[in-house]
Amino acid sequence: MKLGFIGLGIMGSPMAQHLLAAGHQMFVRTRSKVPEALNVATQCATNADVARAADIIFLMLPDTPDVGDVLFGENGLASGLSKGKLVIDMSSISPLETKRFAAKINALGSDYLDAPVSGGEVGAKTASLTIMVGGSEAAFERAKPLFEKLGKNITLVGSNGDGQTTKVANQIIVALNIAAVSEALVFASKAGADPAKVRQALMGGFAASRILEVHGERMIKRTFAPGFRIRLHQKDLGLALQGARELGVSLPQTASAAQLMQACAANGLADLDHSAVVRALELMASHEVAKV
């Protein structure tokens, strides 16, 4: 297939490499230097040029305004699209704006899928991402062989916007779990217990979780190099709270987790892994979970 890819960052670059390795022709556009592994791809001067050259175009961008600009800004994708093309946005952005973007793209005769992912940089590199898709079944079936080069758990959730809604729900659950594990380990450590042994004991009970397993270990070993940055999780929780206001829903625990991330950002920690949310609680307790 002739594929386009816009947004070759930490996530987008390995994803594009998997598609290229599968034998597809690739047309790319990025604000930064094209990674060496993608030098065989055709570099396009504008986003519109990517749309003209490719039949299916992937986006992997930081935030809602970035997607809006790539789609509808000067020399945007929309100006280069024609009937029968497919735009797949794998960014994590506003579900409500996604519905509006999709309607505009559909009006041009092109299909649109929102397909945000979970699994972080490791999942992107190992092609083991969870992919949550919103859009028509026909567009999903067309894209599914490509999604299978990127991930393992691939689900058509519903119509446009539902993929993004699912991703926001995912980020709420992950954030609250990180906050819960953080509070538990700060409490246990401050009380004088060995946090590593506490974590080991909890892994065998009802409190066991992927967050306790992976991020609990990060908190104890103090390994906060970013897999998924606090600033990006902040953005996602902002989407949750914005959506909650528009829908008339109360998300008190999400708001609390967002404040912990804000405390981290205020202390210069926004570019650490989101497991470093524990640092906000440690600062309040004047006590670190562990010393390395």
Element (H, E) at 89: strand 86-89
Could you confirm whether 167 is annotated as catalytic? yes
Tell me how far apart the alpha carbons of residues 280 and 260 are, in angstroms, rounded to a whole number. 6
Contact 133, 163 (CB under 8 A): yes
Handedness of CA 167, 173, 179, 181 (dihedral sign): negative
Q: Which of 122, 175, 117 is nearest to 147 (CA)?
A: 117
Candidates 152, 167, 235, 291; catalytic one: 167
Q: Which of 18, 62, 23 is nearest to 37 (CA)?
A: 18
Tell me how far apart the alpha carbons of residues 29 and 49 are, in angstroms, rounded to a whole number. 9
Show which residues are catalytic: 167
